[in-house]
Structure 1
Amino acid sequence: MATRMLSVRIDSETLESVKERAQERGMTVQDYVVRSLQRDEFEERFKEAFTESLELYGDVLAEADIEALPPQKGTEAA
């Protein structure tokens, strides 16, 4: 995959915070920032897909007859 350069100006307090969080995770600042952006992008796409699914199919969980469903493994009453 081709890469491009992105230059961003941020205040020194924010940069120090980013450096600390990257170091805590054993990452470079660049890797930390890229992964944070990718995670944010994924969350946005997931929210959009979820909203679209609700619009297409409705809230099937709210409409389901929960009492009619068999108990899930490990949740049976003692």
Structure 2
Amino acid sequence: MLIRNLSKPENLVIGFVNMSNVVPASFENLSSSPKRLSLEYGDLHREFHGEIFQLQNLEYLDLSSNSLTGYLPKVQLE
């Protein structure tokens, strides 16, 4: 709900915020794709499916100090 009203965040840092009820895939619904997204210490406890990598402009992602499970998708470097 909080990030839904942001216009065009380039750097989105939501660290040290309890997001235990947030599904990581919900970040796909941002109106524009940030270049940097930090969700460190977010208390995320869900299976990570990698949908967050669908954000078109994403260059940096910090998910450190969360309890996510699952696999990271294969990434092709250009």
TM-score calculated relative to the size of structure 1:
0.18
Q: Which has the higher strand share?
A: 2
Q: Using CA pairs below 8 Å that are at least 6 residues apart, which structure has the higher relative contact order?
A: 2
TM-score for the superposition, normalised by structure 2:
0.18
